[in-house]
Structure 1
Amino acid sequence: MGDFNQSVILEAIRRSVEGLSRIELVEATGLSAQTITNITRRLLDDGFIAEAGRTINGPGKPRVTLRLVAESRFSVGVHLDPAVITFVLLNMSGGVVHRLVVRTPDKDPRRIVETMAQTIDALIDEAGVDRALVAGVGVAAPGPLDAQKGTVIDPPKLHGWHRVPLRSVLAEATGFDVTLEKDTTAAAVGELWMGTDSTEGSFLFIYLGTGLGASVVREGGVITGSSHNFGEIGHIMVDPEGPACSCGSRGCVEVVCTPQAIVEQAETAGVFDDDRDADDEHAVEARFTLLCERAGAGDSPALAVLRRAAGHLAVLISALTNVLDVDRVVLGGPFWGRLAEVYLRELPEQLNRRSATRAVHLLPVEGTVVGDDVGAVGAACVVLDAVLTPRASDLYLDD
């Protein structure tokens, strides 16, 4: 109960931005004045919060404002993508202190773990942060995952990753506690953590990376599923006349909506000057960037490809939102920034047309508030979330 109440107080102070007095904390949390006094005294002693001036509000003694000490703890976020690995160091308020990006060396798990460990050390050293203040490392990885064992199980774009115990080997290599999370789930945590809106309400997060995924937030928490693998949407059909998929169906998200699929559609449409096929993640990313740049410059064939891709994505999103009945849709991920202009123009009307609840409410479509690094930032937020965010489940008694 004490840990839960401490999380309630820390979260209230963090979300206030400007800080809260003890009296305001009583009003915001519903805890007793004595409980607030006891816990804030401990948080002050541990350096998590600090007194930040006094305010006069009516008769009586001035109120002492308590603010979160952002530099009291840090967390590392790592986003493993088949093309690049992104690293961020966050402080307690969620601010990005330092950032590094490296190309994924190859698909060999040992080399990737070595690269991760070395870059994490470099990230902390370059930021000049005491390692003792780093609460842990969060890793966002493509699924499916075995959450209990901390293993990555045969992700489609990471060939050779068969039950890789990423959590344990990276913990051994770095000396930090490591949390392993699906990239889609981590991205939703980052969006929830960094957003300024209330934790009330719900949203569907569509993750646009080398692959596509989905996650859902309800009542301030991310739905993870019974095996922690919610959001595997690669084999949902969005185009019955589309290309054949490895699952035996046709026109699945995996072969229609991903950057590689969109690049292949652009190549077929003659958008590029040569007929060379992009055959690896780095070549795909380069061509995808070129495609988006040409569409942004008004090139009609390039724009037509992205508009068609937006139509396919609208089929997917409408199927999910009609089932899940969420308040809004948020899109993000490493490739989102390049697609934002076209997708935000195309998606709202198409989703509204397909919405089963359009007579009840509109379905807002937004881009992430975090940016392209939402996976890495979200992974770091998963670590901070465990420290700062109160959960009723923490109050359950063990059998």
Structure 2
Amino acid sequence: MRAGSNLPAVGGYNQAVILDAVRRAPDGVSRVEVANSTGLSAQTVTNIVRRLIQEGLVVEAGTRGVGVGKPRTILRLDPMARLAVGIHLDPSVITIVLLDLAGSVVSHRRLRTTSTAKASRTITRIVRGVQSLLAEAGVDDSRVMGAGIAAPGPIDMVSGVVLNPPLLTGWHDVPVRDDLAQALGMPVILEKDVTAAAVAELWMDTAGERNDMVFFYCGTGIGLGMVSRGEVIRGFSSNAGDVGSVIVGGVPKTGHRRWRLGNSIMPRLLVGDAIDAGIIAGDADSMTTAEVGAAFSELAGMTDDPRAQRIVGAAVGDLAEGLLILANLLDMDRVVFGGPFFAPMRDAFLKRVPPLVMGSPSYTLPHPITFCESSIGEDVAAIGAACLVLDDRLSPRPQSFLISR
């Protein structure tokens, strides 16, 4: 059965709508423009703006002439009025950021870790990292709305538990959300890392260009964050986006290729291929993540070595084949690449993948796809985790009208 409507929630929804309209106008916006863009009455806008000013979220920032008549007072967001903490739990590094309302990074730090580190010890390090980050930034706790943590899946969103991520061997049924909330003394939101990255892209997009997109995350592993009509797609259990098992390359043959998309473009395995080919020295299995990153960059930069180009070309071909399947399946408008291991493959992926996808006879979409790089940078998952808090507290949500049951 459908839930009933909760009309008293309209006021809170309208406030979120107006705050969102101000946030999406970095050069400022007048009350009249807010009323026109939201469809709300001038009186409603005036009353809500007054409340937002009293709460310190919005400030009046001068006037702007609009031809004949009285100049209009311009409203702007006060970015430092509220802040959010974002944490990305990666198998090799923990990234912590402090974000203001405009989505700008106020403070940032990274903590090296390993995939086998005990969960309890890692959580303790995260807590200490957050506390020292806030202390160094001189931020009053009352302005921090909460923390978001982006973790590899699978996760249980309802209970806030990291279940059994394949690349984090020390994490099994860890109640990370509640453990962090208790230790930090603030609300905590848990999200799958690739979904958090998609949230970041959506939150920072003031032009509406990313309303139908996939975010292809290139990290220690790969994953996909999805957005359709401006809404993030999480799936039934909030674990959508595991594309590593997509089969590419045709019929498997022993000693030929790896056949799973996640393996065919995994940095450590590509570095292993380069070592086997005699291009790079070392042992991929015993390399640290930093060493893998350096070797991966070296491999990608060997544009004049035919052996290196065969390895890179195979990865490009497999990625294009996987994205072709996803394009036909999801009908997206845009593919955004990002993550800590994307930069070395930037040119290869952005120049060579699009024509392979859209030039394929199997491409069925009646429109082209835009392929681009994230403008947020390699910390996109941590920034996305902080955006989860901003989005949860500040974004207008039609479902808030429904009565909880």
- Name the CA distance, whole Å, in 2 between partners of 1:372 and 1:232: 19
Give the fraction of aligned pairs with identical amino acids, expressed as a percent. 42
Q: Does 1:373 align with 2:373?
A: no
Q: 3-state SS of the aligned residue for 1:169?
A: helix
Offset at residue 191 of structure 1 (A): 0.9
Give runs of aligned pairs for residues 32-51 of structure 1, distance below 5 A: 32-51=41-60
Residue pair 1:107, 1:160 contacting (<8 A) in 2 also: yes
- Name the CA distance, whole Å, in 2 between partners of 1:299 and 1:109: 44
Residue pair 1:289, 1:338 contacting (<8 A) in 2 also: no
In structure 1, the residue matched to 2:154 is 144
Give the superposed CA RMSD.
1.9
Residue pair 2:328, 2:364 contacting (<8 A) in 1 also: no
Offset at residue 285 of structure 1 (A): 4.1
Q: Relative to structure 1, is the Cα distance of residues 359 and 209 closer, same or farther in structure 2, using a 3 angstrom cutoff? A: closer
Q: Relative to structure 1, is the Cα distance of residues 311 and 21 closer, same or farther in structure 2, using a 3 angstrom cutoff? A: same
Residue pair 1:195, 1:369 contacting (<8 A) in 2 also: no
- Name the CA distance, whole Å, in 2 between partners of 1:396 and 1:359: 36
Offset at residue 109 of structure 1 (A): 0.3
Offset at residue 277 of structure 1 (A): 2.0
Higher deviation after alignment, 99-108 or 155-164:
99-108
Q: Does 1:283 align with 2:288?
A: yes
- Name the CA distance, whole Å, in 2 between partners of 1:187 and 1:153: 20
Offset at residue 356 of structure 1 (A): 4.6
Offset at residue 78 of structure 1 (A): 0.6
Which of residues 210, 215, 219 in structure 2 aligns to 1:205?
Answer: 215
Which of residues 59, 63, 71 in structure 1 aligns to 2:72?
Answer: 63
Give runs of aligned pairs for residues 381-392 of structure 1, distance below 5 A: 381-392=387-398
Q: 3-state SS of the aligned residue for 2:158?
A: coil
- Name the CA distance, whole Å, in 2 between partners of 1:242 and 1:285: 32
The number of aligned residues is 392
Q: Does 1:194 align with 2:199?
A: no
- Name the CA distance, whole Å, in 1 between partners of 2:187 and 2:40: 32
Q: Relative to structure 1, is the Cα distance of residues 46 and 199 closer, same or farther in structure 2, using a 3 angstrom cutoff? A: farther
Q: Which amino acid is the alignment partner of residue 396 of structure 2?
A: P
In structure 1, the residue matched to 2:183 is 173
Q: 3-state SS of the aligned residue for 1:160?
A: coil
Q: Relative to structure 1, is the Cα distance of residues 201 and 382 closer, same or farther in structure 2, using a 3 angstrom cutoff? A: closer
Q: 3-state SS of the aligned residue for 1:261?
A: helix
Residue pair 1:307, 1:346 contacting (<8 A) in 2 also: no
In structure 1, the residue matched to 2:7 is none
Q: TM-score, normalised by structure 2?
A: 0.92
In structure 2, the residue matched to 1:295 is 300
Q: Does 1:308 align with 2:318?
A: no
- Name the CA distance, whole Å, in 1 between partners of 2:258 and 2:303: 31
Q: TM-score, normalised by structure 1?
A: 0.93
In structure 2, the residue matched to 1:11 is 20
Which of residues 335, 344, 352 in structure 2 aligns to 1:338?
Answer: 344
1:73-123 per-position Cα deviation (integer Å, ceiling 9, x unaligned): 000111110010111110000001111011015520011000100000111
In structure 1, the residue matched to 2:403 is 397
Higher deviation after alignment, 104-113 or 172-181:
104-113
Q: Relative to structure 1, is the Cα distance of residues 58 and 242 closer, same or farther in structure 2, using a 3 angstrom cutoff? A: farther
1:255-306 per-position Cα deviation (integer Å, ceiling 9, x unaligned): 222112212222222221x3x42225x6244234333234325341333322
Give runs of aligned pairs for residues 265-276 of structure 1, distance below 5 A: 265-272=273-280, 274=281, 276=282
In structure 1, the residue matched to 2:252 is 241
- Name the CA distance, whole Å, in 1 between partners of 2:334 and 2:247: 22
Residue pair 2:198, 2:226 contacting (<8 A) in 1 also: yes
In structure 1, the residue matched to 2:242 is 232
Q: Does 1:123 align with 2:133?
A: yes
Unaligned runs of 5+ in 2: 1-9
